[in-house]
């Protein structure tokens, strides 16, 4: 009994949650469409009453006292009701599609907001979170959450229509009404149970295929992916990958639908009884004279309307049950958002200046491994960062350089140990306040499809920008001449996806990324984090950048690079090996040690020596 009540409670909660999603379409619009659905569902019952009136007047007209003119109004009413039903059905098709589209759009926005609330990015690599995020936003799935919300509204209106039709039957025979309504509901629940289990299992088993399908769609359709696919002759193969995962998603849903077919004979028998028994009861009442022919017509019409409105398992049945797993995914994302919001409320507020004490930033025995892996990238790392210093981080591939910067930026939290900001654990610092202190250049920087000005001033996207600071930042990054040579200078779209847009080279994009960080620095951000900031720059541009690598007396600049020409002028150079600091000092000090730094520096310096030409001359 307890399990049944629990199942009913979850059923009601899911249905209410689906209706709640309709607010994304606008409360007034959803209410108006719902009212139209209810009216449409009640029309069969009203038509049954109107037809009975026609029959009544026909019988009266067939007697000596009847008047044929009395038939006009009932016939007009029947015709009007049938016309209204046709018009309403025609209107509902585009309106329901509109509702589903609006709900899907609102849910996608809600999902993105939930994913963006945490200041870090570790949750984005959590498989459960990624699966949850993939479900509600899959537009090209056979069913989506918008269709489920619309389906729930339509089903509710059908129940109203069925109860209205049953009320007509109850006026003449209460037992017939109870049998008709309960039989129709029973046969629906019989098939529904199959869909509940089937769609839940399908959603669990195909989330990976959903993500893979979306990935291959982006690869095949993007200019960057298309280049290499065509060169290597893999374009057709990539299209087949997209089709393969698409078929996997659709096959899962089709198995659920086709697997219900054996149940339909039971549903058919129940529906036959739900209509047949009331027909017999009403017919007996008509034969005995308890019901007139007109009343019998209304009663039989009510039974037909009850079965017709609610008896069939329409599209909404599949859509609702397919949307239930998506609701569970949304709940997981909301819990994530609530947990992170609660953590933020309990955080320490960070002052604008982070130079209260020296060192202001300290790594204490920090270890870290990426989610889903078993190897520590950083192991017991200790490091102090002092204001006014440019600190370079070097080491071989896999030594932990980029990971250290990601932890400092707050993208991840340490697996062990802690990062202190003014003596406060970074976990307890307000993420928004810390984020507002950081300017960053990532190794895998984003090529935003925005204007040059919007790209540079992205840190103040929601506030008025400072043109002088934008020009100065571009000058510092070596990007001002590039930008002012564009067709529309600062207002040029940096993407050929837009009319009059242009494409930049990798080195040009890196200058834009640097200008973005320098602009944020000029606007008050104290911590500049740079991961391979010169990887795509030529030697001339690199030298120009090095000359501008300063941080002021109260700022911090941390640079990770494999180019020793970039880092040799830093105040401090930190050498990492297997996630630990093994050497720390300036260039002269470290080079004199003859250790790892000397080996790496000399190895790279030898590669830049003049090489022999093809004819053997120097």
For the domain that residue 66 is a member of, what is the CATH number? 1.20.1560.10
Looking at the structure, tell me whether residues 488 and 594 fall in a common domain: no
CATH code at position 575? 3.40.50.300
| Residue 512 sits in the same domain as residue 545 | no
The confidence band for 617, taking pLDDT boundaries of 50, 70 and 90, is very low
Distance CA 352, CA 330 (A): 36
- pLDDT band, residue 356 (cuts 50/70/90): very low
User: Do 518 and 591 fall into the same domain?
Assistant: no
How far CA 433 is from CA of 10, 119, 414, in Å, comes to: 40, 10, 19
Boundaries of domain holding 480: 440-525
Contacts 24+ apart (CB under 8 A), 499-506: 501/449, 504/447, 505/536, 506/536
CA distance 508 to 499: 20
**CA pair distance 382, 369, nearest whole angstrom:** 16
- Contacts with 239 (C-beta within 8 Å, 6 or more apart), sequence order: 220
Please give the residue that has the higher pLDDT: either 198 or 502.
502
Contacts made by residues 181-185, CB under 8 angstroms, sequence distance 24+: 181/274, 181/306, 182/274, 183/270, 183/271, 183/273, 183/274, 183/275, 183/277, 184/271, 184/274, 184/306, 184/307, 184/310, 184/311, 185/310
* pLDDT (tens digit per residue) in 425-478: 888 887 778 888 889 988 888 888 889 999 999 887 777 888 899 999 998 888
Confidence of residue 387 (pLDDT cuts 50, 70, 90): confident
Residues 188, 274 within the same domain = yes
- 98 and 247 assigned to the same domain: yes
Q: Which helix (H) or strand (E) holds 419?
A: strand 416-421
Mark whether 366 and 334 lie in a shared domain: no
Alpha-carbon distances of 96 from 33, 249, 317, 324, 442, rounded to whole Å: 8, 24, 15, 19, 44
pLDDT score at 355:
46
Tokens 């109107």 -> residue: 50
Residue 220 has a pLDDT of 80
Please check whether residue 41 is in contact with residue 157, taking contact to mean a CB–CB distance below 8 angstroms.
yes
**403 shares a domain with 285:** no
User: Do residues 534 and 412 share a domain?
Assistant: yes
Residues 433 and 449 in one domain: no
Which is more confident, 360 or 284?
Answer: 284
Structure token pair of residue 323: 């949307």
Torsional sign, CA 81, 87, 89, 95: negative
Structure tokens belonging to residue 596: 């790892």
CA distance 159 to 161: 5
Q: Is residue 438 within 8 Å of residue 529, measured between CB atoms?
A: yes
Same domain, 311 and 403: no
State the maximum Cα–Cα separation within the chain, in Å, rounded to a whole number: 127
């Amino acid at each position: 009994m307890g399990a049944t009540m629990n199942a009913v409670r979850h059923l009601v909660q899911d249905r209410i949650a689906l209706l709640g999603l309709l607010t994304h379409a606008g409360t007034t619009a959803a209410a108006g469409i719902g009212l139209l659905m209810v009216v449409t569902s009640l029309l069969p019952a009203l038509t049954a009453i109107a037809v009975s009136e026609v029959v009544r007047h026909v019988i009266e007209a067939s007697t000596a006292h009847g008047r044929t003119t009395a038939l006009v109004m009932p016939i007009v009413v029947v015709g009007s009701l049938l016309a209204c039903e046709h018009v309403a059905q025609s209107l509902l098709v585009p309106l329901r599609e509109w509702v589903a589209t609006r709900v899907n759009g609102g849910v996608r926005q809600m999902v993105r907001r939930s994913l963006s609330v945490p200041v870090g990015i570790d949750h984005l690599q959590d498989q459960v979170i990624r699966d949850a995020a993939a479900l509600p936003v899959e537009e090209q799935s056979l069913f989506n959450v918008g269709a489920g919300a619309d389906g729930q509204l339509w089903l509710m209106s059908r129940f109203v229509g069925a109860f209205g039709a049953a009320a007509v039957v109850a006026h003449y025979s209460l037992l017939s009404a109870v049998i008709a309504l309960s039989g129709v509901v029973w046969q629906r629940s019989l098939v529904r149970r199959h869909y509940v289990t089937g769609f839940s299992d399908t959603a669990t088993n195909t989330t990976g295929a959903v993500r893979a399908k979306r990935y291959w769609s982006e690869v095949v359709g993007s200019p960057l992916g298309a280049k290499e696919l065509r060169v290597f002759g893999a374009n057709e193969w990539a299209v087949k990958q997209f089709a393969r995962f698409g078929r996997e998603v659709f096959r899962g849903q089709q198995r659920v639908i086709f697997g219900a077919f054996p149940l339909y004979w039971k549903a058919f028998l129940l529906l036959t009884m739900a209509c047949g028994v009331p027909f017999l009861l009403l017919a007996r009442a008509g034969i005995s004279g308890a019901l007139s022919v007109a009343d019998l017509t209304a009663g039989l019409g009510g039974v037909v309307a009850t079965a017709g409105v609610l008896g069939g398992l329409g599209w909404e049945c599949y859509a609702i049950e397919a949307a239930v797993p998506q609701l569970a995914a949304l709940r997981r994302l909301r819990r994530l958002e609530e947990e992170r919001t609660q953590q933020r409320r309990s955080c320490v507020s960070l002052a604008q200046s982070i130079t209260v004490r020296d060192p202001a930033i300290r790594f204490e025995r920090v270890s870290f491994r990426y989610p889903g892996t078993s190897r520590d990238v950083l192991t017991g790392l200790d490091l102090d960062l002092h204001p006014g210093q440019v600190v370079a981080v070097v080491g071989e591939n896999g030594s932990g350089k980029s990971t250290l910067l990601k932890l400092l930026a707050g993208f991840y939290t340490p697996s062990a140990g802690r990062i202190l900001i003014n003596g406060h654990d970074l976990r307890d610092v307000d993420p928004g306040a810390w984020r507002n202190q950081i300017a960053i250049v990532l190794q895998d920087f984003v090529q935003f499809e925005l204007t040059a000005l919007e790209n540079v001033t992205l840190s103040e996207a929601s506030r008025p920008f400072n043109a002088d600071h934008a020009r100065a930042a571009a000058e510092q990054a070596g990007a001002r001449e590039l930008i002012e040579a564009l067709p529309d200078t600062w207002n040029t779209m940096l993407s050929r996806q837009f009319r009059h847009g242009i494409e930049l080279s990798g080195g040009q994009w890196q200058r834009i990324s640097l200008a973005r960080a320098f602009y944020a620095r000029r606007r008050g951000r104290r911590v500049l984090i740079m991961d391979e900031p010169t990887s795509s720059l030529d030697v001339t541009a690199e030298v120009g950048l090095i000359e501008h690598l300063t941080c002021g007396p109260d700022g911090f600049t941390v640079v990770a690079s494999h180019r020793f020409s970039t880092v040799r002028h830093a105040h401090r150079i930190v050498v990492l090996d297997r996630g630990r600091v093994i050497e720390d000092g300036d260039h002269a000090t470290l080079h004199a040690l003859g250790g790892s730094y000397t080996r790496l520096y000399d190895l790279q310096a030898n590669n830049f020596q003049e090489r022999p030409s093809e004819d053997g001359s120097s």
